[in-house]
């Protein structure tokens, strides 16, 4: 029995070590499917999302879903610590490590668990101490591992939140450029209204870099998928989808070399969507409802033409857009279903109210629908 417990203890410690290394240190996607952290996230998220579906009020449901990311990270760290403590306790118990205990105290497995816990967290109460070379060596090893584990956790969290903060910058910038939630139609309309639709190169480069950082950070730290934005009408998936929609339109509408940067940004954003589906271990699923019916595409084309932006014939544009959308919509759709992020519309029926225009207790200024409206009003005041 003690031999079996010895190998079980070694197995537990080894699994926790490997899982912690892969989740916190290894900067690449881990391909084997039976990781404790992956099983933990899939099972706990399934339960959490089912509970969220029972909440009728949207704001409360979004608040409940936003708790999962930080809470799951905290719980996972506790699970790792418990695994190491119990693994070393079982190792001591299987070896029959002699312990110095208070008088009239029998040594049981629970005694070894208590001793392992005080050693792991380097408490050093001194009421239970190892006797003998093996017990002392294992205690030194465990205390060093516990110290290193706590240091790793402390250094891991700032890196995680720095990646989260960098991700949110572009999401916040899209508020004034594309509305909240962001949409490609609103972005194209506002850019055309500002006469800047033909000079989107620097912005597309910025989006390309953001998509690359999103891919790298969410592969290295998969828990970031569950971290939600400050506003309920914003999300990293909505931003990624808007970028794909916008670049798909620019590519489909352009037969000239200036569409090159749009193609680069589209490729990077699609790469991020595909790999994040692989990390989530989900299957791409086609949309049940067309996000860009012919009437919406005609509405967008007419608006852009009215502002002086050249647009291809609707039939040619629709065909090219369908081909491009088929490359990414199944992936963003399955991420939307799995992570409970609503997909943004391609073309909005009504102009959105941007987050910068709202504040608690104050109504939206009438007639102020975009930054261009604000600039025109400012010119009028002058």
CATH number of the domain bearing residue 11: 1.10.287.70
Q: Is the pTM of this model over 0.75?
A: yes
Mean pLDDT across 125-145? 89
Q: How far is CA 280 from the centre of its chain?
A: 10
Q: Is residue 379 part of a domain?
A: no
For residues 205 and 101, the model is more confident at: 205
pLDDT band for position 279 (50/70/90)?
A: confident
pLDDT band at 27 (very low <50, low <70, confident <90, very high): low
How many CA atoms within 13 Å lie on the side-chain side of 370? 17
Indicate the number of domains in the chain.
2
In terms of phi and psi (left: phi > 0; alpha: psi -120 to 50; beta: otherwise), the region of 10 is: alpha
| E strand or H helix that includes residue 187 | helix 184-193
In a domain, 293, yes or no: yes
Residue 272 lies in a domain: yes
Q: Are residues 229 and 308 in the same domain?
A: yes
378 assigned to some structural domain? no
The answer to whether the beta carbons of residues 337 and 288 sit under 8 Å apart is no
Q: Distance (Å, rounded) from C-alpha 192 to C-alpha 305?
A: 9
Reported as a single tens digit per residue, the pLDDT across 165-195 is 999 999 999 988 998 889 999 999 888 887 7
Same domain, 185 and 59: no
Evaluate whether residue 47 is within a structural domain.
yes
Q: Is the pLDDT of residue 77 over 60?
A: yes
Contact, 364 vs 374, CB < 8 A? no
| 227 in the same domain as 80 | no
Residue 319, domain member (yes or no): yes
Host domain of residue 85: 2-155
Residue range 25-47: mean pLDDT, rounded:
79
Residues 39 and 146 in one domain: yes
State whether 42 and 123 are in the same domain: yes
* Number of C-beta neighbours around residue 95 at 10 A: 17
Average per-residue pLDDT in the chain? 86
């Amino acid at each position: 029995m003690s031999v079996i417990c010895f190998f079980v203890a070694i197995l537990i410690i080894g699994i926790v070590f490997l899982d912690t290394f892969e989740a916190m240190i290894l900067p690449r996607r881990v391909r084997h499917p039976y990781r404790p952290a992956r099983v933990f996230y899939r099972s706990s998220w399934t339960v959490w999302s089912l509970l969220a579906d029972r909440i009728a009020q949207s704001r409360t449901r979004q608040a409940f879903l936003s708790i999962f990311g930080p809470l799951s990270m905290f719980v996972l760290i506790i699970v790792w610590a418990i695994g190491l403590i119990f693994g070393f306790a079982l190792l001591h118990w299987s070896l029959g490590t002699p312990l110095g205990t208070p008088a009239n105290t029998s040594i049981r497995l629970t005694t070894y668990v208590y001793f392992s816990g005080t050693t792991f967290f380097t408490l050093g109460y001194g009421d239970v101490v190892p006797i003998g070379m093996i017990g002392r060596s294992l205690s030194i090893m465990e205390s060093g591992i516990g110290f290193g584990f706590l240091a790793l956790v402390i250094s891991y969290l700032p890196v995680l939140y720095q990646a989260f903060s960098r991700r949110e910058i572009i999401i916040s910038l899209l508020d004034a450029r594309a509305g909240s939630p962001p949409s490609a139609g609103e972005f194209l309309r506002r850019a055309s209204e500002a006469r800047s639709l033909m000079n989107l190169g620097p912005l597309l480069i910025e989006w390309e870099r953001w998509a690359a950082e999103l891919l790298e950070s969410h592969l290295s730290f998969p828990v970031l998928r569950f971290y939600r934005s400050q506003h309920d009408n914003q999300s990293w998936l909505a931003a990624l989808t808007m970028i794909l929609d916008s670049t798909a339109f620019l590519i489909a509408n352009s037969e000239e070399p200036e569409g090159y940067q749009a193609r680069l940004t589209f490729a990077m954003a699609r790469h991020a969507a595909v790999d994040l589906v692989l990390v989530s271990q989900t299957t791409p699923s086609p949309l049940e409802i067309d996000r860009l019916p012919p009437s919406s595409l005609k509405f967008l084309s007419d608006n852009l033409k009215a502002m002086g932006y050249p647009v291809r014939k609707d039939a040619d544009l629709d065909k090219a857009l369908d081909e491009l959308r088929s490359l990414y919509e199944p992936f963003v759709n399955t991420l939307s279903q799995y992570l409970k992020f609503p997909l943004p519309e391609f073309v909005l029926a009504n102009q959105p109210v941007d987050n910068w225009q709202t504040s608690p207790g104050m109504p939206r200024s009438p007639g102020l629908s975009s930054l261009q409206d604000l600039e025109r009003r400012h010119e009028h005041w002058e």
